[in-house]
Amino acid sequence: MKIGVVTFPGSNCDMDMVHALGQDLGFDVVQLWHKDRDLQGCEAVMLPGGFSYGDYLRSGAIARFSPIMEEVIDFANRGGRVMGVCNGFQILCEAGLLPGTLRHNESRKFICRNVHLKPVSRTAAVSAGCDTDTPLVIPIAHGEGNYYIDDEGLQALQDNDQILFQYCDEEGQVNAMSNPNGALLNIAGVCNEGKNVFGMMP
Buried b (16+ CB within 10 A) or exposed e, 122-150: eebebbeebeeeebbeeebbbbbbbbebe
- The answer on 108 and 53 residing in a single domain is no
Verdict on whether the full-model pTM lies above 0.75: yes
Q: Which domain holds residue 43?
A: 2-97
Number of domains in the chain: 2
- For residue 94, give the nearest of 83, 105, 106, 102 by alpha carbon: 102
- For residue 114, give the nearest of 202, 13, 12 by alpha carbon: 202
* Structure confidence at residue 184 (pLDDT): 99
For the segment 20-79, what is each residue's pLDDT rounded down to a tens digit? 999 999 999 999 999 999 999 999 999 999 999 988 888 999 999 999 999 999 999 999
Residue 174 lies in a domain: yes
Average pLDDT, the chain: 97
How many C-alpha atoms does 161 have within 13 Å on its Cβ side? 13
Among 97, 117, 132, residue at a domain's last position? 97
- The answer on 66 and 122 residing in a single domain is no
- The answer on 151 and 78 residing in a single domain is no
- The answer on 120 and 186 residing in a single domain is yes
Q: Using CA of residue 34, residue 39, residue 42, residue 44, what is the dihedral sign?
A: positive
Among 78, 97, 116, residue at a domain's last position? 97
pLDDT band of 148, cuts 50, 70, 90: very high
> β-strands 101-103, 146-148: how paired?
antiparallel
For the segment 108-118, what is each residue's pLDDT rounded down to a tens digit? 999 999 999 99
- The answer on 142 and 61 residing in a single domain is no
C-alpha dist (Å) from residue 47 to 51, 64, 147, 197? 12, 11, 18, 11
